Structure 1
Amino acid sequence: MAEHPLLRPGARVLAAMSGGVDSSVMAATLHHAGYEVIGVSMQLFDKKTARTSDGKCCTLDDFQDARRVAYEMGFPHYVMDFEARFRDTVIEGFIQGYLDGETPSPCIRCNQHLKFSALMERAESLEAAFVATGHYATITHADGRWHLRKASDPAKDQSYFLFHHTQATLARTLFPLAGLTKPEVRSLGAELGLHLAEKPESQEICFVTQDRYDSFLEAEGRDPGRGDGDIRHLDGRVLGRHRGYWRHTVGQRRGLGVAYAEPLYVVRVEPATNTVWVGGEADLLGRDLVARELSWVDGPPRGPLACQARIRSRSMEAEALVIPLPDGRVKVAFAEPQRAIAAGQAVVFYQEGELLGGGWIDSQPE
């Protein structure tokens, strides 16, 4: 288990338990190591509509799995109601992102506002020194500062989803799985006798109960009501009609319903004119972006910052220069063109495997 410089023997730890393998092994490992573990599962949406299908987390079945692990290990487990906060900070932002023509990333918002904000508040009320999660990332301490680095297993690294961390939050956070691979976590779960050691991973957004995200917006009654609009090529030609601009995202190829001589991709979604702009593969390439709502692990840069930037969770980092702007945003200039830069997604900055910070790709240029 990765050690934290401030972790003392027998310390009380609030363990965030989703009911999956990672968080269960994390909590069981802490308990087995002698820490006073309080297991907590977060109720984030209406339990009556929570599904039990594969690929989703935070369902009633997941809560039962987490409770069973706590019972088997011998530590307390609670389900805490964060439904209203989740609705305000995550679901509403997800909906508004699509209405603004963006591609939202709700899992990062959940980490920021629930796991490492709301849970830390609850931990303080329970006199727990730390909040522990099953994320794969590494916290170190050197030269009087906290550092957040990638996990040792590149295939499981989740640091991209944690760019909101600060010195204050890292001092109270534990990532016990940082040095393990997924097979090692499953093996450890089996050694500990956990019944869910082979449980499949969750893949989809937990609160979207429909097969498509646009169906979720319809079910929420959030169709902006602008009706059909034009699908335009970047050269200005109208190629077809869409059934709602918010049904389309940058980089999309399928579902356009447009016949053309070469493959077409969504290049830009423009709510103001109810237009979906399309082009060829080359039109998806961009050399720069502007990011808003910046968060820095150890404070913002005082000038241009040379680093590696990642524009989506499953992409590789690319060499970039981060340039602070007068309005608090930053411009990110890439050494090489990047494919399908999508507003609403996170751009995260690294140097040699250390996470420096990140922000949200803005739909508004300089």
Structure 2
Amino acid sequence: MRSPLMEKALASLQAHPTLRPGDRVLAAMSGGVDSSVMAALLHRTGHEVIGLSMQLFDKKTAGASDGKCCTLDDFQDARRVAFELGFPHYVMDFETRFRETVIEGFIQGYLDGETPSPCIRCNQHLKFAALVERADELGAPFIATGHYAGITRDEAGWHLWKAGDPAKDQSYFLFHHTQRTLARTLFPLAGLTKPEVRALGAELGLHLADKAESQEICFVTQDRYDAFLEAEGRDPGAGAGDIRHVDGRLLGRHQGYWRYTVGQRRGLGVAFAEPLYVVRVARDTNTVWVGGEADLAGRELVARELSWVGAAPRGPLACGAKVRSRSPEAEALVIPLADGRVKVAFAEPQRALAPGQAVVFYRDDEVLGGGWIDARP
């Protein structure tokens, strides 16, 4: 007899319009609690689960570190879960693809004076696009991950939703989903809270039910991202430049514009009568512009590389927009531009609109799409 918690966990799977008992599912297993519970749920409900862990970078050179995902210990945890439950588990090499689509983009973002978001790029290019390719090779109609978000389908098509637990909602990181990828994707944890997932892990007999979460960027082992760029030998050679107040005053000198990000307060190395923040990083002039808290606020941004879950808007779209994963949606108007980008006009000023970060569009709890904040006006 299934427990009430198990019944709750199974609700999203049972409501899936095309998933059938016995279907083969390629389950992405990072070795954490969420993906392990996800895979165990699918296995216990009669699906043919194939566990897959992604080898993304050389662990021997990058090293394992507390708070980071995808370590060798994580892979051992994933393998143990699969062994104890009785389904196959494989580690597949995605190092080249990860280097090309995530690490190089991370580096180039900083060299362009932006603040990159590698976890979203990893979701986009590895955890879904590459997974679907492997699923095709293995004859699996579905892929599954431990993300906290929801998927439904109606006469209008597939829809992406926030998770049932606002504290764990990861829909901001999944805006790149399309009708094609949503049709192949399962999020078994959609209706659960993190404490419920841990409790379910214990109920399922998983050894890692109390395992700590990973928080940091997996491939950066240094304390500072500029140190990572230096270790990669990617100093752009721009040399020292000016640190200027937004009113034009010269306040000091920096040793590399790529060491600074919009909203940064610590480590500026200049003295001033009030707290200063990085307002803009200008690669072309090798200048870091700083100002007060009020100077961080902006009412408009331009976004590039748009992705829409459904049809792209043909005209202005009134919606909610998030410029950070943990911020609430702000009332906004999305205006398509002739060059394929969009302008986003906010009803109220927003803090630290950082180029390179994602802006994601919502209608209530539904994800409509998103894009990347552009440094160009």
TM-score range, shorter chain: over 0.9
Match of 2:206, SS state, is coil
Please tell me whether residue 111 in structure 1 is matched to residue 123 in structure 2. yes
What is the CA-CA distance between 1:144 and the residue it aligns to? Answer: 4.0
Q: For 1:6-155, list aligned pairs within 5 A.
A: 6-155=18-167
* 1:131-175 CA distance string (max 9 Å, x none): 100000000111241000100000000000000001111000000
Identity across matched positions, percent: 82
Distance in 2 (CA, whole Å) between partners of 1:337 and 1:248 is: 22
What is the CA-CA distance between 1:40 and the residue it aligns to? Answer: 0.1
Task: Report which stretch shifted further, 59-68 or 141-150.
Answer: 141-150
What is the CA-CA distance between 1:47 and the residue it aligns to? Answer: 2.8
Distance in 1 (CA, whole Å) between partners of 2:296 and 2:65 is: 35
Contact 1:45 1:83 in 2 (8 A): yes
What is the CA-CA distance between 1:190 and the residue it aligns to? Answer: 0.5
Aligned length: 365
Distance in 1 (CA, whole Å) between partners of 2:202 and 2:66 is: 21
Please tell me whether residue 314 in structure 1 is matched to residue 330 in structure 2. no
Distance in 2 (CA, whole Å) between partners of 1:172 and 1:144 is: 17
Aligned residue for 1:216? 228
Distance in 2 (CA, whole Å) between partners of 1:232 and 1:122 is: 50
Q: For 1:167-246, list aligned pairs within 5 A.
A: 167-246=179-258
User: What letter matches 1:291 in structure 2?
Assistant: A
Distance in 2 (CA, whole Å) between partners of 1:49 and 1:314 is: 32
Match of 2:59, SS state, is coil
Please tell me whether residue 338 in structure 1 is matched to residue 350 in structure 2. yes
Structure 1, unaligned runs of 5 or more: none
Match of 1:273, SS state, is coil
Distance in 1 (CA, whole Å) between partners of 2:37 and 2:49 is: 12
Match of 1:24, SS state, is helix
* 1:25-79 CA distance string (max 9 Å, x none): 1001110111000000000001312433220001101100000000011100000
Aligned residue for 2:373? 361
Aligned residue for 2:336? 324
Distance in 1 (CA, whole Å) between partners of 2:43 and 2:211 is: 21
Contact 1:298 1:356 in 2 (8 A): yes
User: What letter matches 2:116 in structure 1?
Assistant: P
Contact 2:331 2:347 in 1 (8 A): yes
What is the CA-CA distance between 1:228 and the residue it aligns to? Answer: 1.2
Aligned residue for 1:349? 361
Match of 1:89, SS state, is helix
Structure 2, unaligned runs of 5 or more: 1-9
User: What letter matches 1:308 in structure 2?
Assistant: G
With the length of structure 2 as denominator, give the TM-score of the two structures. Answer: 0.96
Distance in 1 (CA, whole Å) between partners of 2:297 and 2:273 is: 20
Aligned residue for 1:280? 292
Contact 2:278 2:288 in 1 (8 A): yes
